[in-house]
Amino acid sequence: MKIDRHMWSGIALTVTVVAQIVLTIVLYAKPGHTLIRNIGWVIMWISAIFGWLPMYTLRKRGGVARGSSYVHTTALVNRGLYAIVRHPQYTAGMLMAVGLALIAQHWLVYVLGIINFIICYAGTFDEDRACMAKFPGEYETYMQRVPRANFLLGMVRWMLSK
């Protein structure tokens, strides 16, 4: 079996995320700045929203066949979180990397978080290419309107469009 670039990045992401989570749990009781740790927890909750809500949104609005996975969309979804960022689940991964680093406050968790962040961000480019092929024209217009992963800019744009 040949392992391609996507498989390697998936393996690397899995290993580094698990390591970051385990280290955060182990290091949680260590001294640290309470405010920074609490900011990390807020970021983790935001990450959870960006990670879980798309499953519901894609099932409801993505034309997914009954019994199929939420990732098998047949329609471009540009409502809900998808009106704020194009890749909410990758954004969730990036936010989780930052949140765990702030919670643990340890150099190794920061290094793993940087690796996780980069892998997640790089994945958004592959997803954009796949979506441009799946929804030609329509997706390019969507890309001009909705940021890749910058949810703060996306929220500002969304509010100004209302």
Q: Which amino acid is at 152?
A: L
pTM to 2 decimals? 0.92
Over 90: is that where the pLDDT of 2 sits?
no
What CATH number belongs to 5-161? 1.20.120
Read off the pLDDT of each residue in 137-146 and give the average, rounded to a whole number. 95
DSSP string, 46-112: HHHHHHHHHHHHHHHHS-PPTTS-TT--SS---SGGGGT-S-HHHHHHHHHHHHHHHHH--HHHHHH
Q: What is the per-residue pLDDT across 59-84, written as a single tens digit (0 to 9) for each? A: 999 999 988 999 899 999 999 999 99
